[in-house]
Copies of this chain bind each other. A is one copy, B any other.
Amino acid sequence: MAQIQRFEVGPRLSQATVHGDMIFLAGQVNNQAKDVTGQTRAVLEQIDHLLAAAGSSKERIVTATIYLADIKTFAQMNVAWEAWVPKGATPARTTVEAKLAAPEYVVEITVTAVK
């Protein structure tokens, strides 16, 4: 029975779990900014920190799911995403519209990475 490592363990969820060389992050949200570009930047920074804690980095994301509260903000999300994602090392990605846990959240991103 291989071990599971957990980071920022709360009563509902852990912000990251690690099993073998696979890293699973919880869906990340951040409402410090109001707009999608700003929230995406903040979310991607959180992802950087969690991946670093788990022994990985954005170059080692294998897949990402992006939920937008309004799919019409797709291009605004991509402004922050394309500035952040490593050229030549982009992950598989799926982007869909979904309302999020609180109305002030306009983007949520979940990633799976490897060590």
Contacts and interface: CB of A to CB of B under 8 A. Distances in A.
A17 B96 contact: no
A62 B4 contact: yes
A87 B11 contact: yes
Count of this chain's copies in the oligomeric assembly? 3
Given A12-B78, A71-B100, A82-B12, A94 B112 contact: no
A91 B13 contact: yes
Interface in A71-96: 71, 74, 78, 81-82, 85, 87-96
Interface of A: 1-2, 4, 6, 9-17, 19-22, 24-27, 60, 62-65, 67, 71, 74, 78, 81-82, 85, 87-101, 108, 110, 112, 114-115
